[in-house]
Structure 1
Amino acid sequence: MTSSSEDPSTPLSEDDRETAVRRLQEAYADERISHEEMDERLDRVLTAKTHGDLAVALTSLPEEKPAATSAIGAAGGRIRRGGVWRVPRVLKVESAFGRVRLDLSRAVIEHPVVDIELRLGTGGARITVPRDAIVEVEGLHTGWKDVRYRTRRSSRPGGPTIRISGAMEFGRLKIRHARR
């Protein structure tokens, strides 16, 4: 949600607001803030327009830790994740008939290694990784088409390693590095 690399003047999304409300509820449940303080902060969160406004409402709360494993699934339709979002250590993506679009270029990646497990029937997948990421696809089995990925000639050290594994039946996986 709000990270030190985000511009405080950036407008909020509904996901940002929902995450902030959840953090306040957890802080109240853990008795870190009083009932009155929660009401006051909740009002700030609900009226916040930018990430800077939201940061004021969340001051002194512990940082939200991403789940170690997260799953996204759909029987049909599209699965999309993009923009600023926290990437878990292990991300499981399952889709029987739809397309998958994962954009990690602006995501908050807090782990040196991220495992993405794909289980796809028909439909393709496109994954955009950060410029400095190292991508490993040796654990992925494809039934119909090959993986389209061209490794970067040079990458800065210190980038995350994205390991993609699982199985794709009739779709194609396209992986590209972000341009900026």
Structure 2
Amino acid sequence: MNSPQGNAASRVREDDRESAVRRVREAYADEHIGHEEMDERLGRVLAATTQGELAAAVDLLPAAGPGATATIAAAGGRIKRRGAWRVPRVLKVESAFGRVRLDLSRAVIEDPVVDIELSLGTGNARITVPRDAIVEVEGVTTGWKDLRYRPRQPTRPGAPRIRFSGAVGYGRLKIRHAWR
């Protein structure tokens, strides 16, 4: 665990606790630990008051990975995600024919950087990012139509960074910031 001073006696910060909970759950999901050990470790993580206690609760677990990768694919038809959905560290969006609508404005974004890799044939794509997100579109190539994006200044430090890459064939890609 990273503590501000690196001191095992320093108090636990909530983001460190959340990271430890995520690490225990991932170890269980990857079958590195059993159900009883997961329960025991989660109890210790939630009860920890110092960085040393927190570090002991996740001791010998595999290191936290770079984050999950998920693919949303459709040969034809629509791809649509909105509301409170969890955005993985790397999201691959593949569509041969059809429309893509991704709304990240209310999505759960746990990682400071999210990479969205697009592989779109025909059809338009509209992606709504959080109001304060930092967006990078330099990695996107478009074929027939253009990319529409107007940058906005982030309103808070630590805003999520969303990096787009990949290709859009015969369709328009529109990325916009949410109003709220």
Q: Give TM-score, length-normalised by structure 2.
A: 0.64
Q: Which runs of 4+ in 1 moved over 4 A?
A: none
Give, as a single letter, the amino acid of the residue that structure 1 aligns with 2:168: M
Aligned ranges 1:1-180 → 2 under 5 Å: 31-32=34-35, 68-180=68-180
**Distance in 1 separating the partners of 2:105 and 2:153:** 18
Q: CA deviation at 1:156?
A: 2.0
Structure 1 residues 153 and 175: CA distance shift in structure 2, 3 A? same
**Distance in 1 separating the partners of 2:106 and 2:73:** 22
Contact 1:66 1:86 in 2 (8 A): no
Q: CA deviation at 1:146?
A: 1.2
**Distance in 1 separating the partners of 2:69 and 2:154:** 30
Contact 1:113 1:163 in 2 (8 A): yes
**Distance in 2 separating the partners of 1:99 and 1:77:** 7
Structure 1 residues 153 and 113: CA distance shift in structure 2, 3 A? closer
Q: Return 144-153 or 118-127, whichever deviates more.
A: 144-153
SS state at 1:136 partner: strand
What is the count of residue pairs matched by the alignment? 133
Question: Which is greater in Rg?
Answer: 2
Give, as a single letter, the amino acid of the residue that structure 1 aligns with 2:173: L
Q: Structure 1 vs Structure 2: percent identity of aligned residues?
A: 72
Q: CA deviation at 1:154?
A: 4.8
**Distance in 1 separating the partners of 2:153 and 2:67:** 33
Q: CA deviation at 1:144?
A: 1.1
**Distance in 2 separating the partners of 1:76 and 1:161:** 30
**Distance in 2 separating the partners of 1:66 and 1:77:** 31
**Distance in 1 separating the partners of 2:155 and 2:149:** 15
Gaps of 5+ in 2: 1-25, 37-41, 46-64
SS state at 2:170 partner: coil
Q: CA deviation at 1:82?
A: 1.0
Gaps of 5+ in 1: 1-22, 34-58
- When the two chains are superposed, the root-mean-square deviation of aligned CA atoms in Å is 2.9
User: 1:106-126 CA deviation, whole Å, 9 max, x = no partner?
Assistant: 111111110000000000111
Give, as a single letter, the amino acid of the residue that structure 2 aligns with 1:32: H
**Distance in 1 separating the partners of 2:152 and 2:67:** 30
What residue in structure 1 maps to residue 54 of structure 2? Answer: none
Q: CA deviation at 1:158?
A: 1.1
Q: Give TM-score, length-normalised by structure 1.
A: 0.64
